[in-house]
Amino acid sequence: MRKMGREDKNIFRKGLAELTPYIPGKPVEEVRRELGLKGRIVRLASNENPIGPSPKAVARMKEVLGEINFYPDGGCFELRAALAEKHALAPGHFVFGNGVDNLIPLAVNTFVNSGDEVIIPTPSFAAYRTSTVVAGGMPVAVPLKNFQLHGEDIYRAVSPKTKMIFICNPNNPTGTIMPAGDLKKLMAALPPSVVVVMDEAYYEYVDHPGYPDSLAHLKRNENVVIFRTFSKIYGLAGLRLGYGMARPDYVNAMEKIREPFAANRVVQAGALEALADQAHTQQVKDAHGRGKQVLCQGLSDLNINFIPTEANFLFADLGVDMELLFPTLLKNGVIIRPGTAWGYPTFARITIGTPDENQFFLDQLAIVLKEWR
């Protein structure tokens, strides 16, 4: 009889050995518990909306709590109709997921076969590579140049085995964009067998006039899948809701393997109100602009270089190994995201908070940096 607990290196799926778990930004509760902190803690690690969701969305979600004994509408009928009107698309162009990080493996598992190549600009969101490896695909990294996405570099990596290209736009963690001209040339050059996934989780924050209109490519029936989310500017990160837009034949294929209730009843109700409350959305964007100004000026005053961003975060070179700096900042009540995971040990990704949160971070950073400079 086989002994219980015996290790068997062949029991796990192939490819898992080369992966590491995704580690999100530390929660405030965890930092308070581990370090015994009693004072203020500012979390600027997870690109969250510091203002929060629309009060109208919160009120509607509270009403729906009395209905959570019933399963949600698996097809998101009302939300689908609202988004279709907003984006001037037919309802059949939409697919929903428990956040964009739920839609990424859905897209990979729909299109990628074992041995297919998936092009991933690097550094970028880790879930692209993880989903590719788990599906048996071959990730092909294309390094950014000066932290920028370039369509020509991506096209040079295309081979007969290429099945999918991920473009995070704005890119996480750099906040940079691929401009419209680059995307247009790339789409025109690609064979129809290559699917381009545009992850636009941060697109509502973009002000750059050169940002591409990915929906125009979809409306021409091109081979794109576009992901957007209610986690960022709409402030519903804790309830998880993302949506994809693609050709109906692509959507029909994804629906075959999509989990039946990917969007819960509460978040569907909140998302409908959040979409309708344009005044609150503009309030969040205005607050983001003010916070961005404070953070950028403060980092400049500290002689810290950062990448100009079109997202709600900054990628900054703090000039000190984050393995040393990060624990000290935590003790001072500041949570940011070390760049170590992306191969930049002296960098950090810093969410743009309220002006007050940004100033608290800058004050604590200045104190800590005195020990290292």
Nearest to 152 by CA among 179, 192, 124, 123: 179
% of the chain surpassing 90 pLDDT: 85
% of the chain surpassing 70 pLDDT: 92
Nearest to 339 by CA among 314, 357, 360, 368: 314
What residue ranges of the chain are covered by domains with CATH 3.40.640.10?
66-277
Mean pLDDT of the chain: 92
Determine the Cα–Cα distance for residues 83 and 297; give it in Å rounded to an integer.
37
Determine the Cα–Cα distance for residues 200 and 284; give it in Å rounded to an integer.
18
Phi then psi for 202, rounded to 5 degrees? -110, 15
- Residue 14's pLDDT is 75
Mean predicted confidence (pLDDT) in 287-307: 96
Token pair 């029991």: residue = 11
Phi then psi for 235, rounded to 5 degrees? 70, 25
- Residue 2's pLDDT is 53
CATH of 16-52+279-369, one of 3.30.70.890, 3.40.50.10190, 3.40.30.10, 3.90.1150.10: 3.90.1150.10
The CB-side HSE value for 305 (13 A sphere, CA atoms) comes to: 7
* pLDDT greater than 60 at residue 214: yes
Query: What residues are paired with 42 via a beta bridge?
Result: 334
- Residue 215's pLDDT is 97
Residue 210 near residue 238, CB atoms below 8 Å: no
- Residue 5's pLDDT is 54
Query: What residues are paired with 167 via a beta bridge?
Result: 198
- Residue 25's pLDDT is 61
Given CATH 3.40.640.10, say whether it is the number of domain 66-277: yes
pLDDT in tens, 127-174: 999 999 999 999 999 999 999 999 999 999 999 999 999 999 999 999
Give, in order, the Cα–Cα distances in Å from 322 to each of 196, 234, 368.
Answer: 34, 31, 12
Degrees to nearest 5, angle at CA 201 with 250 and 317 = 135
* pLDDT greater than 90 at residue 218: yes
Give, in order, the Cα–Cα distances in Å from 326 to each of 106, 174, 255, 300, 322.
Answer: 34, 19, 42, 20, 5
**Listed ranges 163-167, 257-261, 339-343; the one with the highest mean pLDDT:** 163-167
Determine the Cα–Cα distance for residues 297 and 103; give it in Å rounded to an integer.
36
Mean predicted confidence (pLDDT) in 105-126: 97
Residue 32 near residue 41, CB atoms below 8 Å: yes
Give, in order, the Cα–Cα distances in Å from 194 to each of 61, 182, 305.
Answer: 40, 17, 37
State the angle between helix axes of 278-301 and 265-276 in degrees (0 to 180), rounded to the nearest 10: 80
Q: What does 39-57 look like in DSSP terms, one character per residue? A: S--EE-SS---SS-S-HHH
Q: What does 126-183 look like in DSSP terms, one character per residue? A: THHHHHHHHTT-EEEEEE-BTTB--HHHHHHT--TTEEEEEEESS-TTT-----HHHH
Residue 307, token pair as written in the block: 């990448």
* pLDDT greater than 60 at residue 226: yes
- Residue 371's pLDDT is 80
- Residue 242's pLDDT is 98
What residue ranges of the chain are covered by domains with CATH 3.90.1150.10?
16-52+279-369
pLDDT in tens, 56-103: 999 999 999 999 999 999 999 999 999 999 999 999 999 999 999 999
Residue 341, token pair as written in the block: 């995971």
- Residue 19's pLDDT is 66
